Amino acid sequence: MNKKQKKMLARIVLSALLMIALQFVPVDGVSRFLLYLVPYILVGYDILIKAVKGIKNKQVFDENFLMAVATLGAMALAVSDNGDYTEAIAVMLFYQTGEWFQGYAVGKSRRNISELMDIRPDYANIEQDGQFMRVDPDEVAVGTVIFVQPGEKVPLDGVVVEGCSTLNTSALTGESVPRDISQGEEIISGCINMTGLLKIRTTKEFEESTVSKILDLVENASSRKSRSEAFISRFARVYTPIVCYSALALAVLPPLVRMYFWGLPPVWGEWVYRALTFLVISCPCALVISIPLSFFAGIGGASRAGVLIKGSNYLETLAKTQSIVFDKTGTLTEGVFEVNAIHHNVIDDKKLLEYAALAESASSHPISKSLRKAYGKVVDRGRVTNIQEVGGNGVIALVDGVQVAAGNAKLMKRLHISYIDCHQVGTIVHMAVNGVYAGHIVIADIVKPASKPAIAALRREGVRSVVMLTGDSYKVANQVAVSLGMDAVYAELLPADKVKKVEELLLKKASGSTLAFVGDGINDAPVLSRADIGIAMGAMGSDAAIEAADVVLMDDDPMKISTAVRIARKCMAIVHENIVFSIGIKVVCLVLGALGLANMWLAIFADVGVMILAVFNAMRALFVRKYTEQSGVDQQKNVSLRSA
């Protein structure tokens, strides 16, 4: 609890004790009124002040106005009848208790967001005159060498130029598994250095760093309202004035009808009491508070699990997901390609691999990296000229003045070069030297152990269609798709082809359902933007993912996708429960109040009781069951062990 919540709780407790104690004080008249006024003012003065401010600002119809009118009216009736002031005090007391619970619930959900906000670094260490000096991360220029000591947060993105260590990435990924880092590797801001001293050369300014983008994403999530929230806001703006005028009509019209048409006494006190009860019952607190809180708690619970959802509108859309389209490389597979075989023709395998590594030296594609890794030597870029990258085909370059073509079968056909087909499973890099076929290199990717359990988990969550898109060959794509139990696979696609295929699938999907695309965020930005909901995974350090996707998974565990869907569906189920429960109870109690069958105590339950129950229900969205994520991986491991 914060200081404000503690103060409010003290006011509630003290007011309740005074109200109970006054039951045993034998006083009447003005003295009785003044004594009971003390606990009323003590617990409700801020509500009265807010109601007055609302009237001054011409924003009359809100819950503060309803509570002020209802309780002041009840106090006035008690004065006129020398009756019981307890009801008026109790209404204000229980309303403030409900507000306190709501504040506590919001604070709890905000603490989950705050834990993520703790990744923001306070300073960066730079060396000056042989000593470390702390500076604001905003002041550190790109290319500056900074030092991160054990226990400190990494303040900026960069490359490790000296040292090795273990990083705690739990604030970003939601997982406690440490990650090793060493010289030459990229490092992102927001991680905590656990062991050794790291010397890092920064590659981005602070405002462009990973930690800044993530913080901005989370801070702005609440500004993107869902349809449910927008509906509740519009509903409250229309509903509150209607019930105020209805209460006024209930207080005035029946007595007038009794007096002028039936010739009976008007009984003003009874009908005013019914109208005040009607006002207390009608207060829309449960809806206005619990629905946004449900979304806020859902986003908070997701962020704690390493799933960043950009807004409640995306949470609502994600909950309707019936079809999921996966990119293959880096999403369902490790994205770590290794050279499995070299089949040479006119030159030996070492020379063939050297030509391939040099020709591909300018590319950042995982296959190019695997070729350079297999080559095992420092690539001399000065030996390579006239590099032409043919999208979806491969690369043509001059290596030591010799024309080298490295790519798939499409490239060979494009160059009118006869090639030898390879029946090994993997990605085949065909090589041609000076227009003559020189052989091919077989490169294989590895399916992630969690991919198959992740697909099964999605089906358990109700996802009906799981599709895979890839630029890889049909043979490789089919093998991966069959092993994972995909419903369909589309291979040998260029980036533009992936967008077209997603558009075709969008036209075929069921009305009212959502199609999600899952990619690694590096080259999938167009597709992530085109799908109903774009999910980028393994996005630590990927600017394209954070910018283009609607949901960002901070590590490369595909089980997090089912976690995200489960969180969204749980959150929306809670929202619908609260809407039905709140409106249903309100309608029943309003009818009872209008007929004189409900008193202030039932009104208190209809308002405060329903609000507290709805708030506690909303808080369930904070909690995410993690054992279901791990169980799938463990199950897959057990299957592998049995088959071995």
- Mean per-residue pLDDT over the chain, rounded: 81
| Distance in angstroms (rounded) separating the CA atoms of residues 362 and 542 | 20
Percentage of the chain surpassing pLDDT 90? 21
**pTM of the complete model beyond 0.85:** no
The DSSP letter of residue 333 is B
Closest C-alpha among 280, 311, 289 to residue 233: 289
β-pairing verdict for 131-135 and 192-193: unpaired
Q: CA-CA distance, 102 to 109, in Å (whole number)?
A: 11
Q: What local confidence, expressed as pLDDT, does residue 487 receive?
A: 93
Please say if the pLDDT value at position 639 is more than 50: no
**What mean pLDDT do residues 239-247 have?**
79
In the predicted structure, residue 551 carries a pLDDT above the cut 80: yes
Distances (CA, A) of 248 to 111, 165, 314, 549, 613: 42, 71, 41, 50, 29
Average pLDDT of the segment spanning 324-334: 86
Region 338-358: what's the mean pLDDT? 85
Which of 58-67, 418-427, 531-540 has the weakest average pLDDT?
A: 58-67
Asked if the model's pLDDT at residue 528 lies above 60, the reply is: yes
Is the model's pLDDT at 454 over the cut of 90?
A: yes
**Nearest residue to 467 (alpha-carbon basis) of 410, 531, 393:** 531
How far is residue 613 from each of residues 3, 273, 286, 386, 417, measured CA to CA in Å?
A: 24, 26, 8, 70, 73
Phi, psi of 23 (to 5 degrees): -65, -20
Mean pLDDT of 605-619: 78
Amino acid 632: pLDDT: 41
Quick one: pLDDT band at residue 578, thresholds 50, 70, 90?
confident
What DSSP string describes 540-551? TT-HHHHHH-SE
Domains and CATH numbers, the chain: 124-155+157-203 (2.70.150.10), 338-444 (3.40.1110.10)
82-131 pLDDT per residue, tens: 667 787 788 788 778 877 876 766 666 555 555 555 567 788 999 888 78
Answer yes or no: are the C-beta atoms of 587 and 299 closer than 8 Å.
Answer: no
Euclidean distance between CA atoms 472 and 329, whole angstroms: 9
Whether 465 has a pLDDT exceeding 90, the answer reads: yes
- Are 186 and 174 within 8 A, CB to CB? no
pLDDT band at 533 (very low <50, low <70, confident <90, very high): very high
Q: What phi and psi values does residue 5 have, to the nearest 5 degrees?
A: -65, -40
Which is more confident, 458 or 283? Answer: 458
Distance (Å, whole) CA 336 – CA 329: 9
H/E run at residue 165: strand 165-168
Which of the residue ranges 110-124, 273-287, 542-556, 620-634 would you say has the lowest mean pLDDT? 620-634
Q: Is the pLDDT confidence value at 298 over 80?
A: yes
Burial class (CB in 10 A: 0-12, 13-18, 19+), 81: exposed
Res. 471 pLDDT band, cuts 50 70 90 = confident
Residue count of the chain: 644
* Amino acid identity, position 396: I
Closest to 603 in 3D by CA, of 125, 18, 48, 90: 90
Confidence of residue 541 (pLDDT cuts 50, 70, 90): very low
Write down the pLDDT at residue 631: 41
Residue 620 has pLDDT above 90, yes or no: no
Measure CA 84 to chain center.
Answer: 50
Return the pLDDT at 633: 40
How would you classify the pairing of strands 533-536 and 551-553? parallel
Tell me the backbone φ, ψ of residue 486, rounded to 5 degrees: -75, 150
pLDDT at 174: 55
Q: What is the mean pLDDT of residues 445-465?
A: 90
Task: Provide the Cα torsion 259, 260, 264, 268; round to 10°.
Answer: -10
pLDDT digits (tens, 9 = 90+) for 184-228: 888 888 888 888 899 999 998 888 887 777 666 665 655 555 666
202, 144 contact by CB (below 8 A)? yes
Confidence of residue 176 (pLDDT cuts 50, 70, 90): low
Please, are residues 555 and 306 in contact by the beta-carbon 8 Å criterion? yes
| Backbone phi, psi, residue 197, to 5° | -75, 130
Question: How confident is the model at residue 175, as a pLDDT?
Answer: 56
* Tokens, residue 482: 């069959």
Looking at residue 638, its pLDDT comes to: 33
Classify strands 488-490 and 321-327 as parallel, antiparallel or unpaired. unpaired
The DSSP 8-state label assigned to residue 510 in this structure reads P
Instruction: Give the count of alpha carbons within 13 A of 118, CB side only.
Output: 13
Q: What is the pLDDT of residue 490?
A: 92
36 and 89 in contact (C-beta within 8 Å)?
Answer: yes
Q: Is residue 149 within 8 Å of residue 197, measured between CB atoms?
A: yes
Give me the pLDDT at residue 301, please: 81
DSSP letter string, 480-513: HHHHHT-SEEE-S--HHHHHHHHHHHHHHSPTT-
- Known catalytic residues are 327
Give the integer Cα–Cα distance in Å for 338 and 350: 16
More confident residue, 449 or 596: 449
* Cα separation, 539 vs 306, whole angstroms: 11
pLDDT at 464: 92
Tokens representing 374 are: 């297999």
- CB proximity list for 373: less than 8 A, separation 6 or greater: 338, 339
For 370, other C-beta atoms within 10 Å of its C-beta total 25
